[in-house]
Structure 1
Amino acid sequence: MTKNSNNYCVILAGGKGRRLWPVSKEKFPKQFVDFFSEGRTQLQQTYDRFLRFIPQENIFINTSKEYLDLVREQLPEVPDDNIMAEPIHRNTAPSVAWATHRIGKLNPKANIVVSPSDQSILNSETFQRNILEGLEFVAQNNHLLTMGVRPTRPEVGYGYIQEGEYSGTDEIFKVKAFTEKPDEKFANMFVESREWYWNTGLFLANVQCLTACLKECLPVVFRNFDESVKNFTIEEETAFVNQHFPSYPNLSIDYGVLEKSDNVYVMKCDFGWADLGTWHGIYEVKSRGDGDNVIVNSDVLIENSKNNIIRLNNGRLAVIDGLEGFIVAEKDNVLLICKKENSSALIRKYVNEVRLKKGEEFV
């Protein structure tokens, strides 16, 4: 197929992967792990997915400096100028601001899709069609566009999008409201109402619209740079970011831009989505054996047990009897056993407690 030279992709790969602890740890987080022994890591699979319909030179990777070598090792075909390594951890809004600045100078007509690096997409053809339809929509409209999927359970670890008025185009609707990580009561209400969709973390916009929206929520860092350096080089921009990136707030794109804008739309999608950043997401997407147990690359004898997900160290044998609805996950020096329900919130708590009581080597 002919790839549109105005279409760009930014893959966010700087997260610490805490929700998949202990298999994902801060020194080697989930996006760099081949979780299911498929031959490609989550980051590599995300890159492969977009390479089918986005020009290779238009795919950018945003990460942290501490993961730069991992990105280069796993994606050697990506030029250095297409890898943006932040000097310190911030949330996604500053990451997107940097990528938008670089792409905007390369192509003022750019249409950008921003994607997490830890997703499962079951129907790649539908995914490609939806993303290309979305890029066409934002090319013609100065709107932000999110991709939503109908929830299958009241997951408290996801964001939710409420459908509003129909846009008149495809399955695209104005967003009525956003809610990030609701409690169980509200999550149940959202699922039952059928008005709310999971926020996949995929969003699209043309570069001019996205730049304007980011100006509303972030300090004037890049505006000052553009006023002082008219025709910057990549090296000058990177040096400026290394110096000034700490002045950015720790702000997510969802909270900083999407939730505060009245110019956001959602496309209702059905490409078979799961967030591989959570244990429950992995449980949903993987095939299940007897008793609806998911055993990931592990040697297990299991009886009288159901609805569990198990992932152990290589060379370890587990014998499990009478367990229902649990996560059993082991990596190096940590073994986690906890209820699968509401595990995202529980694991955040555990990681913080372990860091305080036992030290950094365990997280």
Structure 2
Amino acid sequence: MNQTNNYCVILAGGRGLRLWPYSRLSYPKQFIDFFGCGRSLLQQTFDRFLKILPIEHILVSTNEMYADIVHQQLPELPTENILAEPIYRSTAPSLAWASHRILHLCPEANIVVTPSDQAIQNEKAFEENIQTGFNFVNSCSGMLTMGIKPTRPEPGYGYIQLGERASEGVYRVRSFTEKPDRSFARLFLESGEFHWNTGLFLFHARFAYDRLCELLPSVLRQFDEQYPTFTPQEETRFIHEHFPLYPNLSLEHGMLENSTDVYVMRCDFGWADLGTWHSLFESMQKGEEDNVVIDCDVILENSRDNIVKVPKGKLAVINGLDGYIVVEKDNVLLICKKEDSSALVRKYANEARLKKGDEFV
């Protein structure tokens, strides 16, 4: 396979409210260096794929309100490789635009789509799985997702049921369940038939574009009729004018749930979704009494199973807490139970916005 046909699309347009109040609408999680390592989550994702692909084959999909931040954090990325959308419409419309752009550059392209908020522990195994995935979609018409064996009944993830074997380590997807309640998540875990959906998807660009054209309004098809040949600037202007016509549709709901030609690869590269405080807690090394303290100063007494992040220069003194999130950022302090906190944190963020205004979100 010609490796020069491979491209990456980094999804970096999310608002990150499940990690509120540290992640804010004006500066969401993908642009934050959570762990004090010197690189944001977006930069770490970019670094990871730069080991696999040339820089000109990496595109970042984001919202136009974050385009300047992407430029600042990835100054080496060509400007035309930043696809800045005028309005949030989830991941299916984002990939429709990206696959259209990539097909214009390389009609034989393969694409890997990646979130910008993941932790990968085994980089070598990750690179090998991505290359194997590219090989698979290059010879098989379909969508390939990277699956990770569950280690706990996590209700905040999607669960993929493995079907018949398609090739070494790759299986047809029998079913997909997005964010089940904890009882179903436990059943899925105990059955041994399910893997977590990592949000890493691979396909031939033509397959992705054609399938998304079936699912979405004919925005880009109208563009192709008007502009048989085009520049990236012409395409961007057209997208900015017509992008609001797209529905708010994710790749999971648009393609993973409803397609028959979908496959899953069993992977083991040490994966963690960093989208919620609970998942951050589960992915990080535990300290004394199973507490997780993220790059800050804390004195803990008679407390266990908590996750804490406060600003630099502040000291948190905590006594008697068990299983809590304690996060302070600017004008908000959040203290809430950690268990199944994803929906709660989003709820509190929305309440704060309604009652106190955008400056609190």
Task: Assess same fold via TM > 0.5.
Answer: yes
Q: Distance in 2 between matches of 1:160 and 1:299?
A: 36
Taking structure 1 as the reference length, what is the TM-score of the superposition? 0.98
Q: Secondary structure at the match of 1:9?
A: strand
Structure 2 partner of 1:124? 123
Q: Distance in 2 between matches of 1:358 and 1:81?
A: 38
Asked whether the 8 Å contact 1:100–1:207 carries over to 2, the reply is yes
Taking structure 2 as the reference length, what is the TM-score of the superposition? 0.98
For 1:93, give the aligned amino acid.
A
Q: Distance in 2 between matches of 1:345 and 1:188?
A: 19
Q: Secondary structure at the match of 1:5?
A: helix
Q: Distance in 1 between matches of 2:50 and 2:29?
A: 21
Q: Distance in 2 between matches of 1:233 and 1:19?
A: 37
Q: Distance in 2 between matches of 1:243 and 1:69?
A: 20
Asked whether the 8 Å contact 1:112–1:205 carries over to 2, the reply is yes
Asked whether the 8 Å contact 1:156–1:344 carries over to 2, the reply is no
Q: Secondary structure at the match of 1:46?
A: helix
Asked whether the 8 Å contact 1:279–1:327 carries over to 2, the reply is yes
Q: Secondary structure at the match of 2:260?
A: coil
Q: Distance in 2 between matches of 1:201 and 1:309?
A: 25
* 4+ residue segments displaced more than 2 Å: none
Query: What are the superposed Cα offsets for residues 85-105 of structure 1, whole Å, 9 maximum, x if unpaired?
Result: 001111100000000000011
Structure 2 partner of 1:79? 78
For 1:133, give the aligned amino acid.
T
Structure 2 partner of 1:30? 29
Displacement, 1:285?
Answer: 2.1
Q: Distance in 2 between matches of 1:161 and 1:232?
A: 39
The question of 1:135 aligning with 2:134 is answered: yes
Alpha-carbon distance change, 113 to 234 in structure 1, aligned in 2, over 3 angstroms:
same
The question of 1:160 aligning with 2:159 is answered: yes
Q: Distance in 1 between matches of 2:170 and 2:121?
A: 21
Displacement, 1:3?
Answer: 8.4
Structure 2 partner of 1:240? 238
Aligned length: 361
Asked whether the 8 Å contact 1:64–1:85 carries over to 2, the reply is yes
Structure 2 partner of 1:279? 277
Structure 2 partner of 1:196? 194
Q: Distance in 2 between matches of 1:11 and 1:25?
A: 20
Structure 1 partner of 2:113? 114
Q: Distance in 2 between matches of 1:353 and 1:98?
A: 33
Displacement, 1:360?
Answer: 1.2
Structure 1 partner of 2:262? 264
For 2:152, give the aligned amino acid.
R
Asked whether the 8 Å contact 1:111–1:135 carries over to 2, the reply is yes
Q: Secondary structure at the match of 2:4?
A: coil
Q: Distance in 2 between matches of 1:42 and 1:3?
A: 29
Identity within the alignment, %: 59
For 1:336, give the aligned amino acid.
L
Q: Distance in 2 between matches of 1:202 and 1:99?
A: 15
Q: Distance in 1 between matches of 2:164 and 2:246?
A: 34
